[in-house]
Structure 1
Amino acid sequence: MSGLTDVAEIDRAIQLAIAPAFLMTGVFGLITILANRLARLIDRERAVRAGTAAPQMDEQRFIALRARHLHRAIGSCVLAAFLLALLIVMSFVGILLQLNVAWVLAGLLVLAMVSMMIALLLLLMEIGLAFRHLPLAHDV
């Protein structure tokens, strides 16, 4: 391979890596949202346990269930980010070693998106639990 071809191949690999890198930015944003929600739950649980906040009926059970959903959602997002990073690595490896990795790349992208969808569903479930636990939720 000539030097010019090497540069063209690397340029192509970089172009292919841009979309998954942008997707990773979105995943990291979702992780931030999930971590903030989890931190607020932990703060609330500590305040209830310390007696500085009045607990609502069955609140500790709801907090634990919500925290479990958030923990799983964060794990699912981390898995999605890992799969996207692996996709970027595999695209470079495929181009540099002249391997046909199209099916591998497609599979990694599909798995990353499924993992992201699971995280979003877990977030939706956690929000539903939070809404049901609101005192106002019973009035609607």
Structure 2
Amino acid sequence: MTPDALNILTMAKLIQTAVAPVFLITGVAATLGVLSNRLARITDRARQLEKKVRTTSDDTLKNLLTKELRALWKRARCIHISFSLSVLSALLVCTVVMALFVSHLLSMNLNITIGISFVGAMLLLIFAMLSLLVEVFLATRSMRRGMIFTHIDLDD
């Protein structure tokens, strides 16, 4: 085989190697969509409750609404953490793909950089999923409390 043919085959192999991390980025992007939707729902609910808190004169109701707002704040914070960690994970995966090509094009040994970046990306993704899990637990816990806010008309 000619050196040009070997270079083309090597580059094709490199592209094949880079495809798996690219699929991972796609999965993280889908997760970011889910997280954005959850945060939007939390935000909408919080706006409704804040409006109700401002307009009600019933102190007992205000306390209940404030309690629910605090729970929503905790959930939003978990989503924010999960979102941030997911984005950082995706950036590290992008670094892996870039390092693969730089390693080949400049004939540099970046194996340690690539390995550390990939492990870091996976750790960030694990913590992002754990944060999402905490948010889901918080959401279901507030539902288990008996749906105490179902009697409140928020369409005013």
TM-score between both structures, scaled by the size of structure 2: 0.80
Aligned to 1:26: 27
Equivalence for 2:49: 48
User: 1:29 offset after TM fit, Å?
Assistant: 1.0
Matched with 2:116 is: 107
In 1, Cα distance between equivalents of 2:20 and 2:111: 15
Q: Kindly report structure 1 stretches of 4+ aligned residues shifted beyond 2 Å.
A: 1-6, 54-57
Contact 1:66 1:129 in 2 (8 A): yes
State the alpha-carbon separation in 1 of the partners of residues 77 and 138 from structure 2: 11
Q: Alignment partner for residue 79 of structure 2, among 51, 67, 70?
A: 70
Q: SS at 1:99's partner residue? A: coil
For the residue of structure 1 that corresponds to 2:108, the secondary structure is coil
| Secondary structure of 1:100 counterpart | coil
| Structure ranking higher on relative contact order (CA contacts 8 Å, 6+ apart) | 1
CA RMSD for the aligned pairs? Answer: 1.9
Cα distance in structure 2, aligned partners of 1:103 and 1:29: 29
> How far apart are residue 2 of structure 1 and its match?
3.6
Q: How much has 1:6 moved relative to structure 2?
A: 2.6
Query: What code does the residue aligned with 2:29 have?
Result: F
Distance 1:124 1:103 in 2: 31
Q: Deviations over 1:54-103 (max 9, x none)?
A: 88551110111110110010000000100000100000000111111222
Distance 1:48 1:118 in 2: 30
Whole-Å separation in 2 of the counterparts to 1:101 and 1:107: 10
Whether the aligned pair in 2 keeps the contact of 1:9 and 1:96 (CA below 8 Å) is no
Compare CA radii of gyration and give the structure with the larger one: 2
Q: Tell whether the 8 Å contact from 1:83 to 1:111 is kept in structure 2 after alignment.
A: yes
Q: Report the equivalent of 1:11.
A: 12
- State how far apart, in whole Å, the 2-side matches of 1:48 and 1:88 are: 45
Task: Give, in angstroms, the shift of residue 5 of structure 1.
Answer: 2.9
Matched, 1:118 2:127: yes
Q: Secondary structure at the residue paired with 2:19? A: helix
Conservation of the 8 A alpha-carbon contact between 1:73 and 1:119: yes
Counterpart amino acid of residue 49 in structure 2: V
Tell me how far 1:50 sits from its aligned partner: 2.1
Deviation at 1:8, TM superposition (A): 2.0
| Cα distance, 1:138 vs structure 2 | 3.6
Q: In the TM superposition, what whole-angstrom CA distance separates every residue of 1:99-126 from its partner, at most 9, and x where no partner exists?
A: 1122211111110000000000000100
Gaps of 5+ in 2: 56-60, 147-156
CA distance in 2: counterparts of 1:39 and 1:138, whole angstroms: 23
